[in-house]
Structure 1
Amino acid sequence: MPVTAKICGLSTPETLDAAIAGSASHVGFVFFPPSPRNLSRERAAQLAARVPGHVRRVGVFVDPDDATVESALDAGLLDALQLHDTAPARAAAIKAKTGREIWAAVAVRTAADLAAAVTFAGAADRILYDAKTPPGAALPGGMGVRFDWTLLEGFRHPLPWALSGGLDPVNLREAVTRTGATLVDVSSGVEISPGIKDAGKIAAFLAAVASL
């Protein structure tokens, strides 16, 4: 199957346009104030208006309350909600309330961490396997950390899924070969500094995706 890509944490028209021009299937907008990629309602609305209908808009949240979700949905015209550090019951409640596709992030460091994916059956539509960040880290993702991709070899996935965590144009082929991922998610791997995306890096990553 062809591999598609989500460029996450976009915050400027120029980098969003680069993701669209490079045929990203999804673009990610972050709604989490501690993140350097966090968007205001106004900026989210500006960016969302630039996204063509064939590209899906994903909002990224960390255990959000209803008000945060509703505000972001309205501003970002979101097609899907990506939830970090969110319990399955809460994910199910958000899915029921919004009617949107739900991506549940599962943080992975060891094989035992994969068991969490099963708990989202019925509560989410897709699992996002991401690297578990170091203890005490301010952010649950987007830190350029990768996990041992061999952990996913032969794993029986309970839901459709995507791969994230430390991906870049150089290691992408290895990651996809080892895991069988058909949707990959990149953020820090296309940045020149935390939160600052680079149009050239985005183009290079999407060219690497297209070459698979």
Structure 2
Amino acid sequence: MIDAGPISGWPPARRGPLIKICGITTPALADAAVAAGADMVGIVHFPPSPRHLAIDAAAAVAEAVRGRATIVALTVDADDATLMPFIDAVRPDALQLHGKEPPARVAALSARTGLPMAKALGVATADDLAAASLYDALLVIDAKPPKGADRPGGHGKRFDWSLLTALDPSRPFMLSGGLDPASVGEAARFVRPYAVDVSSGVETNGVKDAAKMAAFVEAVRTASAAEGITA
């Protein structure tokens, strides 16, 4: 699954899982993420998130790493009036939808923006994966949020990875939820996702930590090398 190659406009993963560090909030942290070896930088535009950025701040983060990493804009159930000005200003390389967006909404945004699409699915049981086949997008498999949560992701919770056996084995996905430098090596070795996605797992007191980002990347690369995935 790691060597799935380009899917719906996403880059190939040739050295093990691609690494996305999400919830980057400043140009300096974006630069640190790329310096650490991140392949993708995630920018959140969703006010309930503690990592939310307004349009101008998001654009500044994007410009700090444009051409050096894939810029992924993350939104949650945003309407066009909210989403399109954000996309126009930030000019992301890809769009991640992390809410309850139905397949038709994902398809419509793909057609309108021309961007590679990712769609998050919150998972607690095998039944939560039933909708996977309906989406023409890179799946982001995340832990289902706690009951009553005000946002669908970013809680630092891990789900039972064995549930992923219910997925089509040829279907690439990005693994999210509770990953950190201590756990991501196991994910790279045994889950073998197309990409891994981290946010709170590389933070200290709610702020991205350059040392933790570097440790996360190193753990992925070390695990991939052990599996013989080098280039």
Q: Matched residue of 1:211: which SS? A: helix
Distance 2:200 2:134 in 1: 28
Q: Which moved more, 1:24-33 or 1:168-177?
A: 168-177
Q: Kindly indicate which of the two structures has a greater share of residues assigned to strand.
A: 1
Which residue number corresponds to residue 7 of structure 2? none
Q: Are the equivalent residues in 2 in contact too, given 1:117–1:158 (CA < 8 A)?
A: no
The answer for unaligned runs of 5 or more in structure 2 is 4-15, 224-231
- 1:55 is aligned to 2:66: no
Q: Over residues 70-98 of structure 1, what are the superposed CA-to-partner deviations in whole Å (9 max), with x where a residue is unaligned? A: 12212222011100121111111111111
What is the TM-score with the length of structure 1 in the denominator? 0.93
Which residue number corresponds to residue 8 of structure 1? 22
- 1:105 is aligned to 2:116: no
Which residue number corresponds to residue 203 of structure 1? 214
Q: Are the equivalent residues in 2 in contact too, given 1:176–1:182 (CA < 8 A)?
A: no
Which residue number corresponds to residue 187 of structure 1? 199
**Which of 79, 99, 108 is the aligned partner of 1:93?**
108
- 1:27 is aligned to 2:38: no
- 1:143 is aligned to 2:158: no
Give the CA deviation at 1:110.
0.6
The answer for unaligned runs of 5 or more in structure 1 is none
Q: Are the equivalent residues in 2 in contact too, given 1:79–1:101 (CA < 8 A)?
A: yes
Q: Read off the aligned partner of 1:182 and give its amino acid letter.
A: Y
Distance 2:42 2:176 in 1: 13
Q: Matched residue of 1:37: which SS? A: coil
**Which of 62, 79, 99 is the aligned partner of 2:93?**
79
**Which of 56, 71, 87 is the aligned partner of 1:42?**
56
What is the TM-score with the length of structure 2 in the denominator? 0.85
Give the CA deviation at 1:176.
2.3
Distance 1:132 1:157 in 2: 21
- 1:68 is aligned to 2:82: yes
Q: Identity of aligned pairs, percent?
A: 49
Distance 2:173 2:60 in 1: 29
Give the CA deviation at 1:102.
0.7
User: How many aligned residue pairs are there?
Assistant: 208
Distance 1:206 1:176 in 2: 11
Distance 1:47 1:61 in 2: 16
Which residue number corresponds to residue 12 of structure 2? none
Give the CA deviation at 1:158.
6.7
Q: Are the equivalent residues in 2 in contact too, given 1:14–1:199 (CA < 8 A)?
A: no
Give the CA deviation at 1:154.
6.3
Q: Matched residue of 1:9: which SS? A: coil
